[in-house]
Chain A
Amino acid sequence: MISLTNLILVFLIGSIVSYLLTKANKILGSIFNFLLISYALYVVWNIKVGHEEVLFRILRDVERTLKVTNLGKYFAIVSLIVISFVAFFIIEWIRKKDIKPAAFNSFLLLMVSGILGVFFSNDLLTLYIFWEIAVLGSFLIVPMGKKESKRAAIIYVVTSAIGSYMYLFATFSIYQRYGILSFEQVSQYLANDSSNLFKWFVILFIASAGIAKSGIFPLHTWLRITHGNAPDAFSAVLSGQLVKMGSYVLAIALSVFPTTQLFSSFYHGVPLLNYVLIWLGNISILIGTFMAIRQNDMKQLIAFSSIANGGYILVGLGIMNSIGYAGGLFHVFNHAIAAAMIFLSFAAVVYRTGTTKIDEMGGLIWRMPWTFVTYLVGIISLAGIPPTSGFISKWMIFSSLVSKGMFITLAITFIGSVGSFLYVFRPLAGVFLGQLKRKHSDVKEVPIIMLVPMLLFVILTILIGVYPKPVLDSIVSIENEVGIKAIEHSGTIIKTPLGQWNTLTVFTMFSVGFIIAAILYMIFPKGKKVDLTDQYTGGEYLYNYDLYHYATGFYRFIERLYDKHPSFEKLYEKLVSFFRYIGYFTYKLVYKTSPSGYVFWITIVILILFWVRW
């Protein structure tokens, strides 16, 4: 078996190989990418937990090591599943795109090398290094998308930099105070530290990298523009995988540094720090849900949904009890798969129609039935409806909130859940249902190579929904590792203090219901298919198709309630223009003046120095 260090090196060199291969032949390079990423999945799947490797040295007295933990392995497997499926999808998708394919494939591998390092690094600084490599790789891909993606890339990298530099600041503070950096030792030293302020500072600053990356309020604004404008297939990786890197850092900040032991309980065993983070998660759920309802661009809609789901994960992880933490981790898996499915189905739709605006489409179910199935199962899982896996994690988060008595958070998560029914229905109705537009009448289903990963996702999410044991098993080992009481489960039955949940029973019930509905559908006479204009309204003939599309202003009645909402994007824009103004002011005052202005500044400096010194 190849060592992890070599695996990362293979990806770094592979990114150059992939560039050359893709230059020679687009498809060959993409197949190479897929094979390499699947190989990484195979290696990571079989790697033993506890395996350690020395990587390199940067600072004195600190060995850089890679270490396989249950937590890292779980995240790595989820990530690589998503990326390898998407890489398969890309083999066909890249043929028609006028993006730079060679650069795309090469940067994808660069990003994967960073991701592998992030999940297996054993100390804060190694994690930072690989984190930045992953950011670099993904940053380079984003501007290959739509026109606005150039701006999106900058917003993405700046937000990410704010988070990761705060993380770096905390890392060096730890190194300065304790002289060590590995996770185990840091958590030990933190446990013995008497300064509460320092502990707060460290954990909040480390978590801020995760907050920026997983799109938690107040650093959530990059998701809309970045996910909405990145290359279509890459949005699946962004939302399905890169955002989960943020959740990984949040999991480290909250559980590897045991917050429940570091701080005293504030509310039913939840420390104040976790409580603050849970509230950030709550706000993200609200913002994500309500803003998603407003969107007319389907990719931006799901981008807002990613903000909301990042909030769910944070709420789950923040509770830090057996069920809540497990729910958060399970939701990582579910949202990764669901978001990847949905974005891939969108990529398929865009591949055929060339637009992302919901009200420019309709009735695609007749032309692209399998893409529709993927989207349908994806949103069922995203909205948390059984029998898909999405329900299990939401149910776990709800029940832990109930058992902690956190009813406001519970109410918000319910609102988010109901809201998600609303917003996922909008693309469903607008894109896939309704009347087929004339211009789309000769649209075909996407090629089989693109369908395979999409349908594999469908199978995976239903399979885990019925039989969640594999995921639950790894969650149990993670909980044992970080010292939380492990959840009880027996394959299909999950036990909580509030009762238990049998996925198999639910699945059987739903199947029976589905069969009954199918039989009824067969028995009753079929509805008559009519053309859009083949009807009367108030005695007038209809002659224009587009005006009667009901996706325009779909939720106008709800949107009207919060039309004048405060916008953080605008706030941050103001902040940026403030900085630019200061820069301009400096430029005008100091750098653009005449020579006499320079003499003035020299005099000022001398005067200040005389005044301060003597």
Chain B
Amino acid sequence: MSALLIIIPLLAGFLFIPFKEKAKYILPLVVITTLIILLLLSPDQTNAMGGWKAPFGIVLVLDSASYYSLLVVNIVFLLISLMPQIVEKGYSVVLLILLASTNGLVLTGDIFNSFVFLEITAVAAYIIAFSRKNPYGAFKYLILGGISGAFYLLGAIYAYIGTGSLNFADISVNIKEGFLPIVALLIFIGIGVESKIFPLAGWVPDVYDSGSPLTPVILGTGVTFTIMYLFGRIFITVFHGYFLDVVFIFGLLTIVLGELAALRQNKLIKALAFSSIAQAGLVLSTISLGGYEAIKFGYFHLLNDISAKLVLFIIAATIAHNFTENKIAGVSFSIASFSLIGFPLFAGFRSKLLILQLAFSKDNYLLPAVVLFATVIEAAYILKWNIKLWHSTNTGEEKQKISWNVNLILLIVALLIIFIGIFPDLYLKMAQNIADGLTNYRAYVTNVLGGM
């Protein structure tokens, strides 16, 4: 059953290649279908493809972690598909392929298969990122993505040599001690490029600033979440937390340097891209603190971050002139940015508070200090942009009106941010389920390999 989640969007994508213009009508339908299928499925099931049992064949694993990640990713796609204005002509087909590959990336229980889906995701992302205004950014992304893919593949090969299998569960149980460091390093490089870790992710600001709102929105929310899920799956479920201490250091560097780099940007979307980098660093370093709670709070913060970024990126890419003409969009933007900074009453405050408390309870005083320092800088530039957009006087430039459906969705997401700020249980429960699935590796192994 869970294979349908990959097949339907993929098939729809290929079928609609001749009718590119019509594809934007089919996109919401496909996403709704996958969501309905997802809701009909129950977690904790493993599907062996082609009847080949694990560890010999490819399996699709639907445990509580992948279930809730799929839910998040598909809801993000649904929201985007309901805003056809931001999808450029002909990109709906690419979005369908991207949906298939992200779903596959979340579901798969096989390291080579995950490489394939990672590459499809990357290819779809290159296409989306490529626009006439910004070919060089997409080209850089292409090169870097190719290199990272090669490293990921090398990691998969070494894992195969070390265990004789490509199955995640099998690798986690049987990998030889000597192979673990090299596999972890190679995969860290491979995923690091996509998950925006500091010196590896040079592509982010150029690609996000591609000129079309779709690129930053989809890459900064749906794809980011998928990659973060993959990161958790590999480094927590498969490697049992090995290598996380290294990730912690890189995460801290990412936070500080990302925020500092954002300070100097004079384009809103680039500043937000750097903020996205820094937040990814925060999520990674929180997860790397280790332990169930850390993973839970890390994904909770990630959920808050993508909710805020969805609003911020759409508005930043469509109207970066002033808010006095578009009050609803302006209010949504401000709410999202307050959440990003972490003012009380907004969602970001809850997750930052929990992360601080957790770090202190682990006697880690570095992370809180770094987070608070970064937040001061973030507050400076995010609020500067808010003031600039609310109080700008020049209305001479072209006035872009946001249509009602985009406004409505943005407002709903903004209200959701406030709702989470007051009653965080909804997101916390999701994060908890993801953390459950990721940390419970014994259940994962028995689930996949069938009680060895």
- Decide whether A and B are members of one complex: yes
Residue numbers of A with Cβ under 8 A of B are 58-59, 128-130, 132-133, 136, 139, 143-144, 150, 153-154, 157-158, 161-162, 165-166, 168-169, 172-173, 175-176, 579-580, 582-584, 586-587, 590-595, 597-599, 601-602, 604-606, 609-610, 612-614
- With A176-B361, A586-B260 already in contact, the answer to whether A150 and B391 are too (CB < 8 A) is yes
Q: Is the pair B199, A590 in contact by a Cβ cutoff of 8 Å?
A: yes
Additional A-B contacts beyond A132-B344, A154-B384 (20; CB < 8 A): A58-B350, A128-B344, A143-B391, A150-B391, A157-B380, A175-B360, A580-B260, A580-B263, A583-B263, A587-B265, A590-B257, A591-B205, A592-B202, A595-B139, A598-B147, A601-B202, A604-B199, A605-B189, A605-B200, A609-B246
Cα–Cα distance between A80 and B151 once the two chains are bound (Å)? 64
Cα–Cα distance between A175 and B262 once the two chains are bound (Å)? 33
Of all chain B residues, the one with the shortest Cβ separation from A59 is: B357
Q: Is the pair B387, A582 in contact by a Cβ cutoff of 8 Å?
A: no
Cα–Cα distance between A209 and B322 once the two chains are bound (Å)? 33
Cα–Cα distance between A473 and B384 once the two chains are bound (Å)? 45
Q: Mark B178-213, 1 if CB is under 8 A from A, else 0.
A: 000100010011001100001110111110000000
Q: Which residues of B contact A583 (CB under 8 A)?
A: 257, 259-264
Chain A CB within 8 A of B297 CB: no
Cα–Cα distance between A586 and B255 once the two chains are bound (Å)? 12
Q: Is the pair B379, A58 in contact by a Cβ cutoff of 8 Å?
A: no
- With A584-B264, A587-B264 already in contact, the answer to whether A158 and B200 are too (CB < 8 A) is no
In the complex, what's the smallest C-beta–C-beta distance from A401 to chain B, in angstroms? 36
Q: Is the pair B368, A172 in contact by a Cβ cutoff of 8 Å?
A: yes
Q: Is the pair A165, B372 in contact by a Cβ cutoff of 8 Å?
A: yes
Question: Could you write out 27 A-B pairs with CB less than 8 Å apart?
Answer: A58-B350, A136-B338, A143-B387, A144-B391, A154-B380, A161-B375, A161-B376, A162-B376, A165-B373, A165-B376, A166-B372, A169-B372, A172-B368, A175-B357, A176-B363, A583-B259, A583-B262, A584-B261, A591-B206, A594-B140, A598-B140, A598-B144, A598-B202, A602-B199, A610-B185, A613-B185, A613-B246
Chain A CB within 8 A of B1 CB: no
Q: Which residues of B contact A59 (CB under 8 A)?
A: 353, 357
Q: Which residues of B contact A139 (CB under 8 A)?
A: 383
With an 8 Å Cβ cutoff, the count of chain B residues facing the other chain is 59
Q: Which residues of A contact B384 (CB under 8 A)?
A: 154
Q: Is the pair A158, B376 in contact by a Cβ cutoff of 8 Å?
A: yes
Of all chain A residues, the one with the shortest Cβ separation from B250 is: A605
Chain A CB within 8 A of B268 CB: no
Cα–Cα distance between A580 and B261 once the two chains are bound (Å)? 7
Cα–Cα distance between A58 and B345 once the two chains are bound (Å)? 12
Classify the secondary structure of A's interface with B: helix
Q: Which residues of A contact B264 (CB under 8 A)?
A: 580, 583-584, 587
Q: Is the pair A595, B144 in contact by a Cβ cutoff of 8 Å?
A: yes
Q: Which residues of B contact A133 (CB under 8 A)?
A: 343-345
Q: Is the pair B361, A169 in contact by a Cβ cutoff of 8 Å?
A: no
Chain A CB within 8 A of B388 CB: yes
Cα–Cα distance between A582 and B349 once the two chains are bound (Å)? 28
In the complex, what's the smallest C-beta–C-beta distance from B329 to chain A, in angstroms? 16
Residue numbers of B with Cβ under 8 A of A are 139-140, 143-144, 147-148, 151, 181, 185, 188-189, 192-193, 198-200, 202-206, 246, 250, 257, 259-265, 338, 343-345, 349-350, 353, 356-357, 360-361, 363, 365, 368-369, 372-373, 375-377, 379-380, 383-384, 387-388, 390-391
- With A168-B356, A593-B202 already in contact, the answer to whether A158 and B379 are too (CB < 8 A) is yes
Partner of B202, one of A128, A158, A584, A590: A590
Cα–Cα distance between A157 and B387 once the two chains are bound (Å)? 12
Q: Which residues of A contact B260 (CB under 8 A)?
A: 579-580, 582-583, 586
In the complex, what's the smallest C-beta–C-beta distance from A117 to chain B, in angstroms? 10
In the complex, what's the smallest C-beta–C-beta distance from A543 to chain B, in angstroms? 39
Total CB contacts across the A-B interface at under 8 A: 140
In the complex, what's the smallest C-beta–C-beta distance from A500 to chain B, in angstroms? 47
Closest 8 CB pairs of A and B: A583-B260, A595-B143, A601-B199, A165-B372, A176-B360, A129-B344, A587-B261, A584-B264
Q: Which residues of B contact A591 (CB under 8 A)?
A: 202, 204-206, 261
Q: Is the pair A150, B375 in contact by a Cβ cutoff of 8 Å?
A: no
Q: Which residues of A contact B206 (CB under 8 A)?
A: 591-592
Cα–Cα distance between A580 and B259 once the two chains are bound (Å)? 10
Q: Which residues of B contact A595 (CB under 8 A)?
A: 139-140, 143-144
In the complex, what's the smallest C-beta–C-beta distance from B268 to chain A, in angstroms? 15
Cα–Cα distance between A157 and B379 once the two chains are bound (Å)? 8
Q: Which residues of A contact B200 (CB under 8 A)?
A: 598, 601-602, 605
Q: Which residues of A contact B353 (CB under 8 A)?
A: 58-59
Q: Which residues of A contact B204 (CB under 8 A)?
A: 591
Q: Is the pair B368, A169 in contact by a Cβ cutoff of 8 Å?
A: yes
Q: Which residues of B contact A613 (CB under 8 A)?
A: 181, 185, 246
Cα–Cα distance between A614 and B353 once the two chains are bound (Å)? 37
Q: Is the pair B343, A136 in contact by a Cβ cutoff of 8 Å?
A: yes
Cα–Cα distance between A605 and B369 once the two chains are bound (Å)? 25
Q: Which residues of B contact A173 (CB under 8 A)?
A: 360, 365
Of all chain B residues, the one with the shortest Cβ separation from A179 is: B361
Q: Which residues of B contact A601 (CB under 8 A)?
A: 199-200, 202
Q: Which residues of A contact B140 (CB under 8 A)?
A: 594-595, 598
Partner of B261, one of A136, A154, A176, A586: A586
Q: Which residues of B contact A153 (CB under 8 A)?
A: 383, 387
Q: Is the pair A590, B198 in contact by a Cβ cutoff of 8 Å?
A: yes
In the complex, what's the smallest C-beta–C-beta distance from B56 to chain A, in angstroms? 33
Q: Which residues of A contact B250 (CB under 8 A)?
A: 605
Q: Which residues of A contact B375 (CB under 8 A)?
A: 161, 165
Cα–Cα distance between A583 and B377 once the two chains are bound (Å)? 11
Partner of A154, one of B144, B181, B205, B383: B383
Q: Which residues of B contact A584 (CB under 8 A)?
A: 261, 264
- With A579-B263, A584-B264 already in contact, the answer to whether A150 and B388 are too (CB < 8 A) is yes
Q: Is the pair B387, A150 in contact by a Cβ cutoff of 8 Å?
A: yes
Of all chain A residues, the one with the shortest Cβ separation from B362 is: A176
Q: Is the pair B203, A598 in contact by a Cβ cutoff of 8 Å?
A: yes
Q: Which residues of A contact B193 (CB under 8 A)?
A: 602
Q: Which residues of A contact B365 (CB under 8 A)?
A: 173
Q: Which residues of A contact B144 (CB under 8 A)?
A: 595, 598
Cα–Cα distance between A604 and B343 once the two chains are bound (Å)? 38
Q: Which residues of A contact B199 (CB under 8 A)?
A: 590, 601-602, 604-605
In the complex, what's the smallest C-beta–C-beta distance from B80 to chain A, in angstroms? 26
Q: Which residues of B contact A593 (CB under 8 A)?
A: 202
Cα–Cα distance between A133 and B418 once the two chains are bound (Å)? 14
In the complex, what's the smallest C-beta–C-beta distance from B107 to chain A, in angstroms? 29
In the complex, what's the smallest C-beta–C-beta distance from B351 to chain A, in angstroms? 12
Q: Is the pair B147, A599 in contact by a Cβ cutoff of 8 Å?
A: yes
Q: Which residues of A contact B383 (CB under 8 A)?
A: 139, 153-154, 157
